């Protein structure tokens, strides 16, 4: 079972789940936001493609 997880900020594949985070969009709750360790460290923005919510 290969899950194709991509970081919502940099679009890189999440190969190592350690240090990355996944959570549902705080506004619409429909889209899963995925952030890799790198984007957490640089506090990259993410955007929900369902409702357009942007967050740090």
- Residue 28 contacts residue 10 (beta carbons within 8 Å): no
Nearest approach, Cβ of residue 55 and Zn ion (Å): 10
The site for Zn ion (CB under 5 A) is made up of 7, 9-10, 25, 27-28, 31, 36, 39, 48, 50-51, 53
Give the separation between CA 54 and CA 1, rounded to whole angstroms.
31
Residue among 5 and 10 whose Cβ is closer to Zn ion: 10
Smallest distance from the beta carbon of 1 to Zn ion, in angstroms? 22
Going by C-alpha positions, the residue among 4, 1, 6, 14 that lies closest to residue 33 is 6
Q: In residues, how long is the chain?
A: 56
Closest CB to Zn ion among residues 1, 43: 43
């Amino acid at each position: 079972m290969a899950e194709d997880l991509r970081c919502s900020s940099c679009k890189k594949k999440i190969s190592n789940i350690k240090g990355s985070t996944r959570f549902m969009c705080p506004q619409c709750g429909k889209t899963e936001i995925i952030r890799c360790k790198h984007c957490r460290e640089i506090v990259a923005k993410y955007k929900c493609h369902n409702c357009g919510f942007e967050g740090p």
